[in-house]
Amino acid sequence: MGRLDGKTVVVTGASSGIGLAIAKLLGAEGGNIVLNGRQRENMDAAAKEIEAAGGKAVVQPGDVTEEKVVIGLVDTAVETFGALDVMVNNAGYNPFDPVINGGVYAKWKETLDVNVLALALGCREAVRVMQGKGGHIVNITSVAARSAEPDDPMYAASKHAAGALTESLRLALEGKNIRMTAIMPGAVATNLVRSMPEEQLFALGRMLGVDPEEAGIKPGEHLPQEMLDRVATMGKAFVMSPEDIAQAVLFAVTMPESAHVNEIMMRPSQPLQMPGMNLPA
């Protein structure tokens, strides 16, 4: 018997990294999972894995910065499985942009659209169907919700906003049987770094012992599995795994009724240092 048997969960950003790990773990615990991201491949594989273990999963690709996509995710959960119990607003983008000195406006906009507005939409839509029934909304923010990031100010601004939204809605929903949890991770080995400037991304690859050209590292695209595997084996103390964060989500959503986990902040055992780059810590 799983800890989420019969519960329905929507996970945004489930095609990669933390969201993919959350979808798999909550699916393995018996949850009916609706997976959203833009690239289908990993989600189809995860859905197969969940179904092979006796669970249920629906893959619904789409861009969460489009209002109708987020509305559609929640409607699909209710139409397919009868209710929405857990909404995980996880999709995120890191611009690695300095704002000053050549900062790119389009990247700032994408950051706020994905990390703040899509998350707010996810909350609004989840509450629409949870009202009167209860439920749990989990927002993946970041340690950057609590720190200033001189190399990445718009990311920090977006995560502060996401944190403020989560806490404000938690208060607004108090006593209504809808819980809100903010999970604030530090460095996790995922594809988030794909939007780093090429020079930094390649330097990260080299630091991990991966030749950027041979391995086929391409800025903006999912990283070669070899690079993520290297982080997992070489950098364990410096970088958490997506599965670590998934465990925190499972913990929050399976607490007894008497306890409401508002926030979880988690960091790697040792801070990650990268020459020439201040990373969120």
Length of the chain: 281
Work out whether 217 is an interface residue with ligand NDP (CB under 6 A): no
Closer residue to ligand NDP in complex, CB, 2/120:
120
Closest separation in Å from C-beta 63 to ligand NDP: 4
Q: Rule CB under 6 A: is residue 95 a binding residue for ligand NDP?
A: no
Interatomic CA distance for residues 183 and 162, integer angstroms: 11
Binding mask 189-208 for ligand NDP (x = CB under 6 A): -xxx----------------
In order, the DSSP letters of 216-238 are T--TTSPPPHHHHHHHHHH-TTT
Residue 185 beta carbon to ligand NDP: minimum distance, rounded to whole angstroms: 4
First-to-last alpha carbon distance for the chain, in angstroms, is 38
Interaction of residue 147 with ligand NDP, rule CB under 6 A = no
Cα–Cα distance measured from residue 94 to residue 152, given in angstroms and rounded to the nearest whole number: 8
**9 interacts with ligand NDP by CB under 6 A:** no
Q: Which of 81, 93, 155, 202 is catalytic?
A: 155
Does 188 sit near ligand NDP (CB under 6 A)?
A: yes
Give the Cα separation of 141 and 264 in Å (integer).
Answer: 10
- DSSP assignment string, 237-259: TTSB-HHHHHHHHHHHHTS-TT-
Instruction: Please indicate whether residue 105 is annotated as part of the active site.
Output: no
Taking the least distance from each CB to ligand NDP, the nearer of 2 and 274 is: 274
Question: What's the rounded Cα separation, in Å, for the pair 85 and 64?
Answer: 19
**In the complex with ligand NDP, which residue's Cβ is closer, 19 or 31?**
19
Looking at residues 18 to 37 of the shown chain, list those that interact with ligand NDP (rule: CB under 6 A).
18-19, 37
Task: Let me know how many helices (H) and strands (E) the chain has, helices first.
Answer: 10, 7
Residue 226 Cβ vs ligand NDP, minimum distance, rounded to whole Å: 16
Residues 125-144, interacting with ligand NDP (CB under 6 A)? 140, 142
d(Cα 77, Cα 196) in Å, to the nearest integer?
A: 34
50 binds ligand NDP (CB under 6 A): no
Number of residues in contact with ligand NDP under rule CB under 6 A: 27
Measured torsion, CA atoms of residues 166, 169, 171, 173, in degrees rounded to the nearest 10:
-130
Residues that bind ligand NDP (CB under 6 A): 12-13, 15-19, 37-39, 63-65, 90-94, 114, 140, 142, 185, 187-188, 190-192
Catalytic residues, which ones?
Answer: 155
